[in-house]
Structure 1
């Protein structure tokens, strides 16, 4: 969702005012309206009193909230990473949700859920459920092959995940793929189920013209030969 300069500034200002608690508000008729956070623990979650939304029914373009981060406590995940509660809340609301990150002095640009597909495959910063290895696969299949793949099953919060093994293996057949152990005869769009670091079967790469397109900290395309020792399985789409 593209925001105006005025909306961006209003969201940033409110996020900083509310920090270290999560801020919330709505965009209605082109204007960002601030609303109080009535969650029991506003430092960890947000809640908007439904009574406050009644005057805006049918006129809410987006719901906005912040995720807060203490800069003295490093985190491996982007602070804007949607929680499973965020995703389910957005689905229930029927309108887009915007999430910004705030550390008390800076506010990072808003991400949108549901995410917005993009045909720009390179230099995408890693954010679970927004720019991760599976959403890169989704976008490639949509724009290059005209195939709409099933969305993520977002039933866990990755900031609490401790075992990253086999994140995708159980979904291979369900999502329309068959597996093979052979790397012979690879075609553009074939997926590589990769071992990443000490974890197994937890990363996806896309074979394309002798290279592998995949999501690292930034999405990149690298020579196929660099992945030979990391390939666990080859996945071919069968529908």
Structure 2
């Protein structure tokens, strides 16, 4: 059987409990879920634990996104996680690459910056956006890189009056868009300011005055905010 078939078979065998396992050197090693509440969470015993390339578990009730607890543990382990998700007995594997928690990152241009946090937040929501080659901050601002690349990766512009949670807000200095943030609703944004820590903060008057445009991804669904809020919950 393929890895996918092995994992789904294990998940079905353990239903309604969460299954768990490890992928080591391309081989799936099923483990026993020793959590106190195995229908709600999972825990792998010390006897079965080993350094792994990927951690696997199931969401028998159909949750598609990593929970706050999942993100906390994934951040500690620093490896990819795969989830076997049950959708009316039609199982699928959803793969989440490891990325640091969205809040509290140290700024590093091209690795942990305002575009990176949008890219990683959308990945947690199940949307892959383009990881384009970075040329340097000043060059990107001069070239209007956001406006050039956003349409290529599935974004389209919407009116400010139509802005909703999950939209990306571009702000500008001297006319060109130079910063991206994710609108969380209730006048809150998630962003990574230059030289600072990534954070959630109020969308104040300064932000409004610097607004350039609002963008929405063609694949965005409102329930995807669950993935972002779960991650933010993990750093409370």
Query: Displacement, 1:110?
Result: 1.7
Contact persistence 1:62–1:95 (CA under 8 A): yes
Question: Does 2:13 correspond to 1:17?
Answer: yes
56, 62, 66: which one aligns with 1:82: 66
- Paired residue total: 151
Normalising to structure 1: TM-score of the pair? Answer: 0.50
Higher relative contact order (CA 8 A, sep 6+): 2
Q: Which residue in the other structure is 2:112 paired with?
A: none
Correspondence list, 1:1-239, <5 A: 6-53=2-49, 56-57=50-51, 60-69=52-61, 79-103=63-87, 105-114=89-98, 116=123, 117-119=128-130, 121-122=153-154, 134=166, 137=168, 166=186, 169=188, 171=190, 174=199, 178-180=206-208, 186=212, 190-191=213-214, 206=215, 212-213=216-217, 216-217=220-221
The Cα shift of 1:109 comes to: 2.4
| Structure 2, unpaired ranges of 5+ | 99-119, 131-151, 156-163, 170-175, 194-198, 223-236
Report the RMSD for the aligned CA atoms in angstroms. 4.1
Q: Which runs of 5 or more residues in structure 1 are unaligned?
A: 70-77, 124-131, 139-144, 153-163, 192-205, 207-211, 219-239
The structure carrying a bigger helix percent of its residues is: 2
How many Å apart are 1:150 and its aligned residue? 8.4
8 Å CA contact 2:181–2:190 kept in 1: the answer is: no
Pairwise CA distance, 1:52: 1.3
TM-score (norm 2): 0.51
How far did 1:90 drift?
0.2
- Given that 2:80 and 2:95 are in contact with CA atoms closer than 8 Å, whether structure 1 keeps it comes out as no
